[in-house]
Amino acid sequence: MPDLTLLHTAEVHVATFRALAPAADLDQQVRADWLDRAQDGIDAALEAEIAAAVAAVDGPVLCTCTTLGPAAEAAGATRIDWPMMQEAARIGGPVLMAYCLQSTAEPSEALLRRAFGAHDPQLTPLLLGQHWPLFEAGDSAGFAVAVARDVSQALGTMDFACVVLAQASMAGAAELLREKTEVPVLASPEIAMRALLRDG
């Protein structure tokens, strides 16, 4: 049995998570078609596929796609961004939440508010959809630089307690931002892997 099974929607995530846990036995499954199909909402057929994939696994499952998170959680998987949102709640608001896909906005905000419970996260959403084509084209470095630049500009507009990079694909921007700001910058891959492999 692997230490952890990961459900991805992009091949590029495989190397990212391998680097985060080089000693762990990871079963990394990539289903790019799931994200394409989920852009207009998760229908019953896709929900059933996700549930079947989770049920077929012996051991913990981590869904690394924010858009698919609610369906994966309903099937028994851990959402990539849940440990990160819990960390944001520990820090407190105001929270700057950056994301690139519109389909990410609603599940990310709902999860953040769940983590904060009765407290107001004082959320400021930052849509960076203009940079998503860089990620889709495989330019991970350019994507990280562009995201970091725009988030850094937003940090200059008001005081935030923390930054949430809502999608796992945005994690590359975290280190760049940490060089520019004292504000905690939260990226879901490192936080989720630390939480799951520790708990496991």
Q: Please, are residues 76 and 56 in contact by the beta-carbon 8 Å criterion?
A: no
- Does residue 195 lie within any of the structural domains? no
The pLDDT of residue 57: 92
Evaluate if residue 183 carries a pLDDT over 90.
Answer: yes
89 and 160 part of one domain:
yes
Residue entry with tokens 């889709």: 136
105 and 62 part of one domain:
no
Q: Please count the other Cβ atoms lying within 10 Å of the Cβ belonging to residue 38.
A: 20
Comparing 74 with 67, which gets the higher pLDDT?
74
**In total, how many domains does the chain have?**
2
pLDDT tens-place string over residues 3-58: 999 999 888 889 989 999 999 999 999 998 998 888 878 889 999 999 999 999 98
108 and 46 part of one domain:
no
- Domain residues for 179? 82-188
* Mean pLDDT to the nearest integer, 169-194: 94
The pLDDT of residue 176: 97
